[in-house]
């Protein structure tokens, strides 16, 4: 009997900036992907919804009035509706192929965590993603259910949490200070001990 895989809808619980980063990755992965030729939402339309959310979120950052926040939330919900439709389609096309599912940029629902401890992730990439934001890519950890990041600017005397996310491929650290060097670590959450040890740190100067 073939194993079936399920698409994770955890993207709906991400922060706005992480949803933006997730959608950017999905668009890249789905463009020209021969496994998904009948998308229920055209990539051009998905890109338009994404840009609308980016613009609305930028407006909130500049002003933050109740009306601008409402417009941002409406743009976010419109994008999520489109992502859920695509996720359902990806599910239907890749029930028995994890590699096909992952090629879409979406993630699978992980198997239940066993009783053993987790390996630490590796930070595969840390890159500036516009002003005041760094985008991380971690190596996925088997049986992890989420990932936590932290950073320091004073040689490790003080660590600041970067938040928890359910996916490893695109994690946004935001509201950073341009010209400041950030040393960043990550760890996997789950398993018998609750979390892995922290990863080897990497450093990057925010722009």
pLDDT for 115 equals 53
Q: Quick one: CATH architecture of 123-205?
A: Sandwich (2.60)
Mean pLDDT of 158-178: 90
- Taking only the tens place, the pLDDT of each residue in 52-86 is 999 999 999 888 788 999 999 999 999 999 999 99
CA-to-CA distance for 160 and 168, rounded, in angstroms? 19
Most distant CA pair in the chain, distance: 56
Asked whether residue 1 carries a pLDDT value surpassing 50, the answer given is no
Mean pLDDT of 125-140: 91
Sign of CA dihedral 12, 15, 19, 22: negative
Q: For residues 18 and 165, is the Cβ–Cβ distance under 8 A?
A: yes
Asked whether residue 194 carries a pLDDT value surpassing 90, the answer given is no
pTM for this structure? Answer: 0.57
| Domain boundaries, given as residue ranges, for the chain | 10-103, 123-205
Q: What is the mean pLDDT of the chain?
A: 91
- Taking only the tens place, the pLDDT of each residue in 120-132 is 999 999 999 888 9
Nearest 10 degrees: CA dihedral of 103, 26, 111, 89? Answer: -80
């Amino acid at each position: 009997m073939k194993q079936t895989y399920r698409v994770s809808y955890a993207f709906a619980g991400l922060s706005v900036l992480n949803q933006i980063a997730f959608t950017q990755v999905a668009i890249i992965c789905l463009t020209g992907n021969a496994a998904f030729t009948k998308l229920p939402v055209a990539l051009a339309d998905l890109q338009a919804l994404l840009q609308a959310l980016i613009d609305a979120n930028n407006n909130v950052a500049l002003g933050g009035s109740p009306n601008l926040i409402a417009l941002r939330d409406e743009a976010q919900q419109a994008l999520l509706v489109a992502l859920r439709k695509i996720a359902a389609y990806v599910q239907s096309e890749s029930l028995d192929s994890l590699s096909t599912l992952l090629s879409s940029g979406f993630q699978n629902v992980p198997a239940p965590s066993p009783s053993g401890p987790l390996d630490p992730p590796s930070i595969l990439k840390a890159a500036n993603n516009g002003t005041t934001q760094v985008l991380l890519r971690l190596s996925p950890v088997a049986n992890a259910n989420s990932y936590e990041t932290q950073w320091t600017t004073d040689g490790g005397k003080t660590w600041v949490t970067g938040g928890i996310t359910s996916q490893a491929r695109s994690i946004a650290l935001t509201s950073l200070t341009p010209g400041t060097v950030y040393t960043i670590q990550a760890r996997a959450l789950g398993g018998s001990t609750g979390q892995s040890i922290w990863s080897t740190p990497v450093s990057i100067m925010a722009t």
